[in-house]
């Protein structure tokens, strides 16, 4: 029996929701053609791997997830106000929520104590 998991219900709610959002972001990006662009493919793989790492309580998973959550948000903001306004407000809200969930004090304290 394998000890690997896709979702870890023993983690704080902030990390559980962040893991689900990372998987959903990766899936939606893949379904909308992001898999055809090298940067999109890197974000898809990074988000899915980061979520899997968090679910299995790995520090590399947490660090990768924070980077992969900040990257699309930074790309939206660097693109300028026109680019941000052209993007769905719902997409922007999910990107901000994902970063907030990952850097929330509960998430950070839990990963400092339990992740290896």
- Rounded to two decimals, the pTM is 0.90
Tell whether the model's pLDDT for residue 30 goes beyond 50: yes
Question: How high does pLDDT run on average in the chain?
Answer: 89
Confidence of residue 6 (pLDDT cuts 50, 70, 90): very high
CA distances from 20 to 26, 52, 75, 83, 102 (A): 10, 10, 22, 26, 12
- pLDDT per residue over 63-108, tens digit each? 999 999 999 888 887 775 555 555 677 778 889 999 999 999 999 9
> Distance between CA 59 and CA 113 in Å, rounded?
10
How high is the pLDDT of residue 1?
Answer: 41
Tokens read off for 96:
């901000």
């Amino acid at each position: 029996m394998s000890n690997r998991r896709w979702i870890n219900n023993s983690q704080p709610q902030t990390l559980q929701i962040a893991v689900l959002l990372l998987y959903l972001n990766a899936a939606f990006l893949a379904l909308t053609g992001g898999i055809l662009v090298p940067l999109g493919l890197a974000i898809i793989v990074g988000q899915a791997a980061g979520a899997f790492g968090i679910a299995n309580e790995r520090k590399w998973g947490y660090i990768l997830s924070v980077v992969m959550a900040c990257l699309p948000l930074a790309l939206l903001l660097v693109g300028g106000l026109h680019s941000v306004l052209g993007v769905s407000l719902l997409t922007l809200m999910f990107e901000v929520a994902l970063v907030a969930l990952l850097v929330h004090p509960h998430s950070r304290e839990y990963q400092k104590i339990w992740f290896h």
